[in-house]
A and B are shown apart, each in its own frame.
Chain A
Amino acid sequence: MREAGDQPERAPTPGIDFTEEDILEAMRAIPGYLDITPGDFKEVYRLAFQHALERLSRAVTAAEIMTTEVVAVKPDTPVAEVAAAMGRRGVSGVPVVDGENKVVGVISEKDFLTRMGVKDAKNFMSLVAGCLVTKGCVALPIKAALAGDLMSAPAVTVAPDTPLRDIAALLTQKSINRVAVTDPDGRLLGLVSRGDIVKATMGRVAS
């Protein structure tokens, strides 16, 4: 049972790991008697900081943090080329667009793993485990496949003015790692990954 008076658990907030001694030093720097305990001040500061972070994350939009240099593939691109492109760019997912640059799906490492017979946990180590008990390459079944066969469709997309906070919620809720940012006609503008969100948050905190 949680002790009464304890604060509800929250994700650690970056940038506020200061001590009561720091607060006491600050209080000494302000002349006059401050009618607050260091403990209460720390709590006020923590909540205010969290509030500021939430406010900032509401203000930041997809358009501001998205990656615009995105490698997109076509539905008829062979998966071998898709995999090679992902490997070259060091990304774990790419959007699939049609001839008008409209997003029709997304291919991620997970889509590869699923088709390569990884059933339970869709991660790399499950694939390795599968490899070690099978003869030959586990990628063989999809050798002739095209991007259109493997992709997850329809793609999860957001508008450029979607708040960062909503994107974070969407990623968590759908258990995905990126969303495509599209214009009203569905044409690809960019990609927001979990990494983009982390970077954006840290940038805001630092500035």
Chain B
Amino acid sequence: MMGAYFRKMTGTTQSPPRVGLAEICWSWLGAFLGIGAVAYINYGWLDATGLFLLIGSLGASAVLIYGSIKSPLAQPRNFLGGHVISALIGVTAFKLLAPHLWLAAPLAVAFSIAVMHVTKTLHPPGGATALIAVISGPQVTNLGYLYALIPVGAGALVMLAVALLVNNLAPRRRYPEFWW
């Protein structure tokens, strides 16, 4: 009984193959331009207004929408839906539970995963988006539900536009696999 339990931890299969050099270069270019666009808007235009667009979870999304573009997790439905839904849940968790952040943080992430599953919008960086809403202090928490629109929704839209433009430049790449 216990043996079977621990044997499950040994794994049963192997890692997928390494991608080719072209794939690596296209992934690099997409991420550079995608994060670059968001960062440029963030530091170039928004800084003066007190708003911001660049949040950590967009870096995680870049891995998926530029580096693993066939993945269901990387498709527009998951990318946009996962971020916005998780942002709403994160803000809600903070509003209901602050200052008990030790409880708000895990609840925000756990509920984000559950709701993303239910809505078929699972997108791993969504968990970070929810967490950021809880742990980032006044600069984020003062936004309230606006957080789900700016930076989260708008930032994701900019990155999606870059993904559509850059990923489809590559002769052997195609994005997205599905929209909705």
- A residues near B (Cβ < 8 Å) are 1, 3-5, 20, 24, 27-28, 31-40, 42
Shortest beta-carbon contacts, A-B, top 5: A39-B13, A35-B71, A31-B172, A3-B4, A33-B68
Residues of B near A32 (CB, < 8 A) are: 19, 23, 69-70, 172-173
If over half of A's interface residues share one DSSP class (helix, strand or loop), that class is named, otherwise mixed; here it is loop
Q: Does B7 contact A (CB under 8 A)?
A: yes
Kindly identify which residue among B1, B5, B16, B19 contacts A38, using a CB–CB cutoff of 8 Å. Answer: B16
A32 to B13, CA, bound (A): 20
Check if A33 sits within 8 Å of B71, measured CB to CB. Answer: yes
Q: Does B12 contact A (CB under 8 A)?
A: yes
Name the CB-closest residue of B to A24.
B17
Q: Does B8 contact A (CB under 8 A)?
A: yes
Q: Does B22 contact A (CB under 8 A)?
A: yes
Residues of A near B1 (CB, < 8 A) are: 1
- Given A4-B4, A31-B172; 14 other pairs, CB 8 A cutoff: A5-B8, A5-B12, A24-B14, A28-B17, A32-B23, A32-B69, A32-B70, A33-B67, A33-B68, A35-B73, A35-B74, A37-B13, A37-B15, A39-B13
Interface string of B1-31 (1 = CB under 8 A from A): 1001101100011111101101100000000
Residues of A near B20 (CB, < 8 A) are: 31
> Which B12-60 residues have C-beta < 8 A from chain A?
12-17, 19-20, 22-23
A4 to B67, CA, bound (A): 34
A15 to B73, CA, bound (A): 32
Q: Does B176 contact A (CB under 8 A)?
A: no
How far in angstroms is the closest Cβ of chain B from A25? 9
Q: Does B72 contact A (CB under 8 A)?
A: yes
Interface residues on B, range: 20 to 34
Indicate whether A39 sits within 8 Å of B17 (C-beta atoms), given known contacts A32-B69, A33-B67: no
Residues of A near B172 (CB, < 8 A) are: 31-32
Kindly identify which residue among A3, A36, A37 contacts B14, using a CB–CB cutoff of 8 Å. Answer: A37
Indicate whether A20 sits within 8 Å of B71 (C-beta atoms), given known contacts A4-B5, A4-B8, A31-B172: no
Check if B17 sits within 8 Å of A20, measured CB to CB. Answer: no
Check if B13 sits within 8 Å of A36, measured CB to CB. Answer: no
Residues of B near A42 (CB, < 8 A) are: 13
Residues of A near B22 (CB, < 8 A) are: 31
Check if B8 sits within 8 Å of A37, measured CB to CB. Answer: no
Indicate whether A38 sits within 8 Å of B8 (C-beta atoms), given known contacts A31-B172, A33-B67, A33-B68: no
Residues of B near A40 (CB, < 8 A) are: 13
How far in angstroms is the closest Cβ of chain B from A2? 9
A159 to B72, CA, bound (A): 46
Name the CB-closest residue of A to B7.
A3
Kindly identify which residue among A3, A31, A37 contacts B16, using a CB–CB cutoff of 8 Å. Answer: A37
Name the CB-closest residue of B to A38.
B13
- Some 23 contacts from A to B, beta carbons below 8 A apart, are A1-B4, A3-B7, A4-B4, A4-B5, A5-B8, A24-B16, A28-B17, A31-B19, A31-B20, A32-B69, A32-B70, A32-B172, A32-B173, A33-B67, A33-B70, A35-B70, A35-B71, A35-B72, A35-B73, A37-B14, A39-B12, A40-B13, A42-B13
Check if A38 sits within 8 Å of B70, measured CB to CB. Answer: no
